[in-house]
Structure 1
């Protein structure tokens, strides 16, 4: 997380659940969600990058 913050990603949300931690970060029109889960004691990390821009919204609307 510290290296992402050094690259100007801003932490916007943190949530903790029984077996997972979620951190959301933003930079420009991008949202990065980092999910650290420990199901059954096995660690793994999921990254989800989302972009929210007028062009993305238009493409999403046209795909429906």
Structure 2
């Protein structure tokens, strides 16, 4: 399984989110499920602001 990632350096790749209920698009752009999760845990925001992906890599947990 592949997942959107952002390469920071030769051996440093940032993966925002992971395989689960939310899709890569929900992690990146928000949505009702993300807003509800953040509200449930008392966050003042209703979506994340992750770095823009510049590629895909094997998903870190299951890849």
- Tell me the TM-score normalized by structure 1: 0.26
- Quick check: which has more Rg, 1 or 2? 1
Higher helix share: 1
Higher strand share: 1
